[in-house]
Chain A
Amino acid sequence: MSELVETRHGVRAWLLASSPRSALQARCQRFYISWLAFFANPVAMLGLVIVAGLVVVALLAPWIASSNGVDPDLDARLQPFSSEHWFGTDQLGRDIFDRIVWGSRITLYIVGLVAVIVVPVGLLIGTVAGFVGGMVDNVLMRITDIFLAFPRLILALAFVAALGPGLENAVLAIALTTWSPYARIARAEALTIRNSEFIMAARVQGAGTVGILYRHVMPLCLSSVIVRLTLDMAGIILTAAGLGFLGLGAQPPTPEWGAMISNGRQFLLDQWWVPTVPGIAIFVVSLGFNLLGDGLRDVLDPKSER
């Protein structure tokens, strides 16, 4: 028992040492201190738990779900909550709990894919526009404005009409209409940063614009973008759900939560659990991302940085 305490002291001491002895240690320390600040906020922790829960469920889906959630079992149609079917069954007899579990993978996929597209694109366009300024700024911002003006659902419809319905096309449509605000945020940060003395110092050292953008400007813009992303997650999930609801996103029998609501809505009055449970799942995950985003903003906000 005393050995365990010592180890904990060892790691903790390493994380709190006043003079880090390597770049890795320095970075871990910074992360740890931010983590402590985050940990002190119970609401943010709740958000983190929910999001972490989503990830865990998605990863462990094959072990958590008892069936594949896709095969119909017409003998067990529209069953209420029971010990065998925790969330009941839907109109094709599929276990709703299992479908929710498998659907978490899809939710995570949507969220991850959008993030992976939107963050780099927004960051790149925004920092270049803000830092370089002039004509480049003008052109990039007008492009941003054009994309900002697209209504999401109309674009999704257009994509579907052109490319056929499917989850990837829906995600693409969402990503294309979501990146603009991130570019604006990154641009605003880059505008403030570009007159800083450390940027001047980098120029004096001979750093080129690309090097300065990558090493000096983008790291500082990243936090605002990430905070905005987590706060946007809820909207992205809901939009994907909406597209699924309209039949534009995931196609049956894929257990996407929005599609589950859509396909189950005729049962709302008598077998309410069929559309409601996926609705609750969407609500909980969106809430989790919102709380996480709020907590991250409190921790990463440069104004509160020492």
Chain B
Amino acid sequence: MIDVAHLDVVFGRGAAGFHAVKDVTFTVPRGLSFGLVGESGSGKTTVLRALAGLLGHIAQVTGRLEVDGEVLGRGRSRRFRRRVQMVFQDPYGSLHPRHTVDQIVSEPARIHRLDRIKERVAQVLEEVGLDTSFRFRYAHQLSGGQRQRVSVARSLIIEPTVVLLDEPTSALDVSVQAEVLNLLGRLRRERQLTYVLVSHDLAVVSHMCERLAVMQHGTVVEYLDVEQLRRSTATHRYTQQLLVASRGYDRQAIERFEEFSP
């Protein structure tokens, strides 16, 4: 479904250029949920944005990107936009402050000229667990979890096959996170979606994904199946360190933390 080969992303030019992503390669078969895990500056979000075609004018993107048989160039075709959608991290920033929920969710349907937009909006809002009373509210009248649901609804209304998720629950309270993760899991099963999920939280990634890539300083340090992660048979020391850190505060373990230079 998704084929990334030798992806390189450089921001800026020449000496001042910043090599955010270096030679990243991975494949995501149809229906899989693939995770990109890393700390800040690892390049994981940049990879996602390169896939989504959001870096066109800001960075030099080289390498081969192929989604559903279509090789991707600088821009993104309408067909691509119909098949690949994205959910963003910040529930407060990813919704237009002056648009109602109805406007936000119907916009992609309008852009792609779907029919029966009103019914589709009602249907997708119900699927994400928002009842009709939310339909004409503005973003600032919703809670963080509700906004993320709107974000999910917006990405699903045009029935994509791939959803890119950029830290979808990082800004949410823990109890709300559980609801949103369950929602995402259920939708994936029901619609047979392919997910690429970016997160710094190893627990979230291992819950949601079947396969993952650990990134650091712009490169992939290791590819793992979730089972390997659970059995702690990760080979790279960095992955092990992330795993230990995800388990909470352990004074002795922290002593053994290493610095990994780029």
Contacts and interface: CB of A to CB of B under 8 A. Distances in A.
A and B assemble together: yes
Given A198-B94, A205-B107, A206-B108, A26 B85 contact: no
A200 interface: yes
Interface in B119-136: 132-136
B88 interface: yes
A204 B98 contact: no
Interface residues of B, number: 38
B103 interface: yes
Interface string A197-223: 110111111110001000110011000
A22 B121 CA distance: 13
B interface SS class: mixed
A19 B89 CA distance: 26
B111 A206 contact: yes
Nearest to A208: B111
A30 interface: yes
Interface of A: 18-23, 25-26, 30, 196-198, 200-207, 211, 215-216, 219-220, 305-306
Contacts of A204: 52-54, 81, 84-86
Interface of B: 52-54, 76, 78, 81-82, 84-86, 88-90, 93-98, 100, 102-103, 107-108, 111-112, 132-138, 140-141, 151, 154, 158
Nearest to B79: A206
Contacts of A205: 81, 85, 107-108, 111, 154, 158
A interface SS class: helix
B152 to A, nearest CB: 12
Contacts of A216: 96
> Closest 8 CB pairs between A and B?
A206-B81, A19-B133, A197-B94, A26-B136, A205-B108, A20-B136, A197-B93, A198-B96
Nearest to B133: A19
Contacts of B85: 204-205
Contacts of B100: 20, 23, 26
